[in-house]
Chain A
Amino acid sequence: MVHEKTEHDEEVKTVQQVVNSESGKDFLREVMKMPGGEKILGCIQCGTCAGGCPTRFAMDYSPMQIIKMINLGMKRDVLSSSTIWVCSACYTCATRCPRNVSFTTLMMSLKNRAILENMVENSVDSNFHKYFFEVVNKYGRIHEPELLVKLMDKTDLRSLQHNANLGLRLLKKGKLRMRAPKTEQNKWVNNMLEKTSEKVSQ
């Protein structure tokens, strides 16, 4: 089958010319292998992602900028950006992208890479993920009170107070289950998770 030259191929060529350093190219290649990164070269910088993003106001770089920065090989700036942690995973950008870039999924992959490479700028962000992971491993299910207690001394006082208030409010309404969840065959979950834990950095 003859491959017809398309506009997309031209774009790819242009972007590839911009990437000049070897490490930059490596990062781009790496991202293209991550879930969500497959179609990143198709980005036409139209800004639909940034325009629809509900948390853009709190990001240091917009989704569109992050994609450009990946193309330019700016690994450290991307992985230490607040953007990847401020993303609320709402999938608005991925739903609207005219080039089918699954940016939301890519955000999750970039979080993963930032954790693995120790590039998380503010540990409050990744602590939630870390403790969530630990609590799920312990019980097989999430146990909110334990998760919140683990996070407590790590977050700021104001939000600590808010969490405490929320906990009390839920308790008063009889909604908060304090007892730890029990999965009867928790050992099966543990067995299984040991198999998938090889790749996790500690």
Chain B
Amino acid sequence: MKYAFYPGCSVESTEREYVDSAKEISKVLGIELVEIPDWNCCGAVDAVYAFNPLHSVALAARNLALAEKMQMDVTTLCSACYFTLSRTNKILEEDSGTKSKVDAALESAGLKYNGGVKVRHFADVLLSDVGLEKIKENVKVPLNNLKVASYYGCFLARPPGICNFDNPEHPTRLDELVEALGASKVNYYGKTRCCGASLGITNEKIMLKLSKDVLLSAKSAGANCMITACPLCHLNLDAKQKDIESHFHIKIDLPVLHFTQLIGLAFGMESNQIGLQRNCVSPKMIIPLFASNTQHK
């Protein structure tokens, strides 16, 4: 299975362990991630779009045009990139005025985009193309005793019609993955609530409150760790957890893993192999919960 891999800026510049762990589990599952050569910014959810919508669409379209040449589905680890690239496909299909301007812009970059390149979140590649059965076959250390809160955030399944990974209000696919790895799922209020996204830069107090609500609702529902499928969510929930704690004078201490890291753990990979040492809230405390479960097949 080969895919045109779109890493995205955020994964590259602040969340490298997400890519590392995705590549490690890809090797095991027979997935080949071929990086789109010379990819650029996806156009951003609203930072570029609000400043100049056409600009944002053109940026995304350039990535899609580069991917079209590769004749593979595009896959990305970032929910926000998943949204912007998919949105661009929709805009180009529906808005001929924008399309002709974007075509002209692409032409000046020596490119052409015919349309219809499929954009997929990496979680969808794992669940739809690889399948839970094959994932289960590779589990060496079942994650029994681990209660995992799957965080879907905004762009895995919203807005419907653009991001179609799961049901927008009651998503379950990551929970099914969690159970396939031997862990148990946690139902909690915050699983589709926003983490605050880029408000962390412009309006930090709002972001701190939003992420606090997500983390505390998972914690009070009994979770001993959380998984995310987006580098931006991970940054707010993991790297900024300390800021949340000091702002609200509370203790949370909930390890937040990239979902690819959780798979890596169940596959019996070493902590360093999946970059666990780079998580800001140390996941060390959850390892003893399942470390003795090694299956001898």
Contact = CB atoms under 8 A, between A and B. Distances in A.
- Decide if A and B are genuine partners: yes
Interface of A: 35, 54-55, 57-58, 85-86, 88-92, 94-95, 102, 104, 107-109, 111-112, 115, 124-125, 127-130, 132-133, 136, 140-144, 147-148, 151, 155, 158-159, 162-163, 165-166, 169-170, 173-177, 181, 183-185, 188-189, 191-197, 199-200
11 contacts: A91-B154, A107-B46, A108-B50, A143-B13, A165-B243, A169-B242, A175-B14, A177-B14, A183-B39, A188-B109, A200-B55
Contacts of B14: 144, 170, 175-177
Looking at B38, B44, B201, B205, the one whose CB has the most chain A CB atoms below 10 A away is B201
B194 A108 contact: no
A132 B194 contact: no
Contact of B204 (A115, A141, A162, A177): A162
B17 A175 contact: yes
B51 A192 contact: no
**Is the contact region of chain B dominated by helix, strand, or loop, or is it mixed?**
helix
B285 interface: no
Interface string B18-52: 00000000000000000001111100111111111
B160 interface: yes
A125 to B, nearest CB: 6
**Is the contact region of chain A dominated by helix, strand, or loop, or is it mixed?**
helix
Given A108-B50, A195-B105, A183 B206 contact: no
B130 interface: no
A95 B17 contact: no
Contact of B239 (A55, A89, A170, A199): A170
Contacts of A108: 46, 49-50, 53
Given A86-B203, A91-B158, A188-B62, 5 more contacts: A111-B46, A140-B41, A142-B10, A166-B243, A175-B239
Interface string B242-285: 11000000000000000000000000000000000111100000
B38 A141 contact: no
Contacts of B16: 174-175, 177
A-B residue pairs, 7 tightest by C-beta:
A90-B194, A111-B50, A195-B105, A132-B47, A188-B109, A192-B109, A140-B40
Given A88-B196, A108-B53, A141-B40, A163 B108 contact: no
B293 to A, nearest CB: 28
Contacts of A127: 202
B174 interface: no
B104 interface: yes
B54 interface: yes
B58 A89 contact: no
B59 A136 contact: yes
Contact of B50 (A115, A165, A196, A199): A115
Contacts of B106: 192
Given A133-B55, A162-B204, A181 B108 contact: no
Contacts of B105: 192-193, 195-196
